[in-house]
Amino acid sequence: MKERTRRLLRSLIFLLLLGAAVIGVQGLFGSNSSWDYEHERNYLLEKPGSLDGVYVGTSNVHAFWQPAYGWKQHGIAVWNYSIDAAPAEAIKYMVIEARKTQPDALYIINLNTFKAESVDPDTTSIHRVVDYMPFSLNRLRLTRRLTEKLDMPPLEKLEFYLPIIRFHTRWDELKDWVYGAADFDYKGSLHYSAYQKNVTDYSKTYRVYEGLEPVSDDVAEIMDDLLDYCDAEKLRVLFVIVPQVVSREDQGRMQTLAQTVRDRGYTCLDLLTDYRELKLDLRMDFYNRKHTNVHGSLKFADWLGTYLMEQEGMTDKRGQPGWESWEAASESYLEDYLGAYHLPFELSLENRTELEGPAMKRVTVKELSATVTWDPSEGADGYEIFRKADDRGWESVTAVEASASSYTEEGLEPKTKYTYTAVPFLETESGRKYGHFSVNGVSGTTGGT
Amino acid sequence: MEQMMKILEEIRPDVDFANERKLIDDHVLDSFDIISIVQEFNEAFDIEIDVEDLEPDNFNTVEAMKELIDRLRNAD
Amino acid sequence: MTIVSLPFFLFTAAVVLVYYAVPKKIRWTVLLAGSSIFYALNSGWLALVLAGTSLLTFVMGWAVQKVLDASRADLKAAEGLSREEKKKRKEAARKKARALMLTGVLADLAALLFLKYFNFFGSNLNRLLSALGTGGRIPALNLLLPLGISFYTLQAMAYLIDVYRGKTAADRNPAKFMLFMSFFPQIVQGPIPRHSQLAHQLYEGHDFDYQRLCFGAQLMLWGIFKKIVIAERLSGPVQALFAADSAVTGPAVFLGACLYGLQVYTDFSGGMDIVRGVAQMLGIELELNFTQPYFASSVEDFWRRWHITMGAWMRDYIFYPLSLSKAFTNLSRKSRKVFGAFVGKRLPAFLAMFIVYFLVGLWHGADWKYIVYGVWNGVFITSGILLENAYAKARGLCGIDEGTVTWRAFRILRTFAIVSFGRYFSRADSLGHAMDLFRRTFIHWRDLSFLTDGTLLKWGLNTANWVLLAVCVLILFYVDARHEKGISFRRTIAAQALPFRWLIYIGAVLALLIFGCYGPEYSAASFIYERF
């Protein structure tokens, strides 16, 4: 009998060890997007209780708010706890998860996440949200909640509880997308080529509609649930509607949600309606309908950063001990990822004005000199000429007077593509203010010898 | 017995029949050999070894084969 | 529920738990219940086919036994009878028993033939009829096969013949016999059991034995490794190389056949390991079905090591009876005059052998390619024996010493090549496709560029996966080589200190989890042998 108990005990210990090993190894496998890993796992590297804010949502967060830039510009630490295509149901659980290490931060939540009429999550979106959360009751609850409506035999849903079942197939890529992701220390800021380079003109399609639309019962319930949680936890929350090109119905639903939120005593910033606050240029600040590119994102982030400092009491911590990793992250992010894709003055909203830009005409190359021409616009005090050689960053070349319509630069490098744009400016007491400009500019390639 | 050994050695000259104890179990003899052996035994000793007698135990050793032959001869 | 799936593992665990939890006397009912549930879950109403065959076989077996028993009692009671009279009575009883046995065997066979071969015979007959100008008339039926039908039919036939031959006593309890016919891990794809070897193991309750349980689990792990790490991984390249529209030429085609052989081996023998492992956990020893076939030195040796229980079945119930039948013996006598003693004596066995391989081919599937596949192997086996003397002379002339390692290695490789070429028939879509494969192999037979020019990577595996595959195959052959020498790995592991042992087990499970081909990103191929 004693022998039997001993055996039983030993078997139990073995099973426990085996379970622990399986859970440990399975933690390496998850959705193969390194962003998810960055946003959820690297978050845990932040000192508990240190962050000023946590921004929760989907890609509608990380295409707008860049934590590294928030630090660079304002000295505030606001992390993106955001997962592409996260279903609305997940938001509450993401807040709960994020609060485990940052219980007192300000939680910023995009209402754009909730507008969708249908909120049925699919396989991919579930994996992306769940996979990189550490094992916990919260993760189990979230997984159960998200898989409830999936039309799948119960045993097949196991892949969401143990993602290794799906993702072990990529064992040979493991080092690239897990360890590779851990190498990025941009505090969850976006590094994505479409965000850097793509420009789509939405000046014709961006509309602001008025009026309310009813939200579905599902969405209403999810929203109520979230607000109940915020109430119970006395959470500091700020709701935001980010500017997107969306239909009348969707805008109406977001307005309904905004009203719900405000009725319950929370603040909601509607930047879709008030996009002019951001000095957004609808012709060049989006890379697609739902996401700003680097140009729009910098405007949004500077505006929101200022708001957070003025209205939410966040303070500039630049230079304080303990924030070296944020210093380093903001330096390298701006240099490595944004450097080549924005004009220097774009870093601050303060030196921007709504002045219309000139129509750029062409670049005429003659051996190693280039002449750029444009049709002057009205009201400028002058134009500052910016130039980019190949894919290297934009540089200011010179400033010309308001009547000028061309500029010639000599002594260029051979076999190089030069892109020029002329930015109108006003000289004011507080310095030069830049107007709108053509982000594509005009270009020409020098001859070779 | 001598006649038996002669038959066996003719069929498989490479096998040491006197000393092998597991002719079947160790695959020393294959099913072709068994058929040849049975045919020869049937003719030589005027017996009829039946399919039912094709048991490993009856062919694993020379002694077992002899026993089988004796049994069948006496049965008639 | 395939035997490499979570439901099956959970199911097995449940059966094992309940088995040891109930009193010894009724443990067999747990197996019966488990087997019935398993079969019903897998085949639904087709379970009735199995139930029908079992019931029929049970009744016939019981009847045969009754006739034999009565005859024995009768002879014992009738002391005073003359020898001739006794013999006469005995013969009469045997004749009756034989008729009963044959009725049962043919009925079992009829079910198999109808379900599995109806369309094959039908279409061939139609072709014949239309060639004769009368037009095809037999419609093709869309018949579903009950799980394991090819295996349990042979099992049922063997049972009846064994009862008739007096090798086993017929079952008296239909429920127990039902268990014998449907034992759940084995019903999927064998091994094809003998009643005398298996039945009593099923019916008697086994004591809980910790080490046996562990050994069974380890055997399962090893089988799972073979199946999901090697066999499943091979399905991409094999499919690519044997695709009907593939234009691959040269040694690459042959490589495909080798990989396919490896796939069938790991899939089938891995399945066997799982089946045997499950049985072992329940205290039941099933027969070995594979003994390192790729170490075989001749085609004959290969088939002795491959699907052993099938080979034994063919030997005991087809080959021996045919070879020793009156007709064949007479044929032998006559042919000696024509072909001489050497050939004449061997003719019955050869003929029987050809029939066996024809049947083995047919058993694999209702298609001519399988039949040619069987004959291909038959030709090499019979020619090996027929030309034995000539080969020996040739070896003598070339001064080849049979004892050397190189000679043995050569024989193993030669056997491997013959068997692999044979796979063209079993894997190709049709006989014509198989012939095309042969043609394509030999048009650019020296072109090895596919190994280095990146072609390998187009067959569904990247470099990392090829490397992993190679490593796993090396492990497989290393373990097989140890088995060939009679060394048991499980005992080696059991002799290690506890932490080491645990480390090995945990490592093995993790390796399976990571390197196995399972889950939603792979579409699981079902067992290659399951429907045979």
Check whether C506 has a pLDDT greater than 90: yes
Nearest CA in chain C to B50: C324
Check whether C123 has a pLDDT greater than 60: yes
Q: How sure is the predictor about C139, in pLDDT bands with cuts at 50, 70 and 90? A: low
Q: Which amino acid is at A12?
A: L
Structure tokens at C496: 């290690």
CB contact under 8 A, C6 and A155: yes
Which of C11, C498, C514 to substitute to test the interface with A, most A CBs within 10 Å? C514
Which residues of chain A does C513 touch, with a Cβ-Cβ cutoff of 8 Å? 22, 25-26, 164, 168
Check whether C531 has a pLDDT greater than 60: no
Q: Does the CB of B1 have a partner CB in chain C at under 8 Å?
A: no
Report which of A362, A308, A356 is spatially closest to residue A51, judged by C-alpha positions. Answer: A308
| Placement of tokens 């009692």 in the chain | C73
Mean per-residue pLDDT of chain C:
85
Question: A172-178, long-range: CB within 8 Å, 24+ apart, which pairs?
Answer: A172/C462, A172/C464, A172/C465, A172/C468, A173/A32, A174/A28, A174/A29, A177/A32, A177/A33, A177/A34, A177/A37, A178/A28, A178/A34, A178/A37
What pLDDT score was predicted for residue C530? 41
What pLDDT score was predicted for residue A449? 60
Q: Which residue has the higher pLDDT, C43 or A181?
A: C43
**Residue numbers in chain A where pLDDT is lower than 50:** none
Check whether C523 has a pLDDT greater than 60: no
Give, rounded to a whole angstrom, the gap between the first and last alpha carbons of chain A.
93
> Subunits touching C (CB < 8 Å, at least 3 pairs)?
A, B
Report CA dihedral (B64, B70, B72, B74) to the nearest 10 degrees.
-150
Q: Where do the structural domains in chain B lie, given as residue ranges?
A: 2-75
What pLDDT score was predicted for residue C40? 92
Q: Does the CB of B76 have a partner CB in chain C at under 8 Å?
A: no
Q: How sure is the predictor about C136, in pLDDT bands with cuts at 50, 70 and 90? A: low
A167 CA: distance to closest CA in chain C (Å): 8
What pLDDT score was predicted for residue C524? 40
C159 CA: distance to closest CA in chain B (Å): 14
Q: Which residue has the higher pLDDT, C343 or C170?
A: C170
What pLDDT score was predicted for residue B76? 55
What pLDDT score was predicted for residue C194? 92
- Could you tell me if A111 and A240 are in contact, meaning their C-beta atoms sit under 8 angstroms apart? yes
Q: What percent of chain C has pLDDT over 90?
A: 34
Q: Do chains A and C touch (3 or more CB pairs under 8 A)?
A: yes
B51 CA: distance to closest CA in chain C (Å): 6
CB contact under 8 A, C521 and A172: no
Alpha carbon separation from C184 to C3, C148, C275, C279 (Å, rounded) = 10, 10, 9, 9
Report CA dihedral (C113, C116, C119, C120) to the nearest 10 degrees.
-80
Rounded CA gap, A297 and A337, in Å? 13
What pLDDT score was predicted for residue A235? 94
Q: Do chains A and B touch (3 or more CB pairs under 8 A)?
A: no
Q: Which residues of B, range 27-56, sit inside 8 Å of C by Cβ?
A: 27, 30-32, 34-36, 38-39, 42, 49-52, 54
Rounded CA gap, C242 and C260, in Å? 9
pLDDT, one tens digit per residue, over C370-417 is 888 888 888 888 787 777 777 777 777 777 777 778 888 888 888 888
CATH code for residues B2-75? 1.10.1200.10
Q: Any idea what the Cα angle at residue A93 is, between residues A91 and A94, rounded to 5°? A: 65
Q: If you compute the radius of gyration of chain C from its CA atoms, what whole number of angstroms results?
A: 25
What pLDDT score was predicted for residue A275? 93
Q: How sure is the predictor about C529, in pLDDT bands with cuts at 50, 70 and 90? A: very low
- Could you tell me if A329 and A187 are in contact, meaning their C-beta atoms sit under 8 angstroms apart? yes
ipTM of this predicted complex? Answer: 0.88
**Residue numbers in chain B where pLDDT is lower than 70:** 75-76
Coil, strand or helix at A419: strand
pLDDT, one tens digit per residue, over C231-265 is 989 988 888 888 777 777 778 888 888 888 899 89
CB contact under 8 A, B39 and C316: no
CB contact under 8 A, A21 and C510: yes
- Strand-strand pairing, A359-366 and A369-375: antiparallel
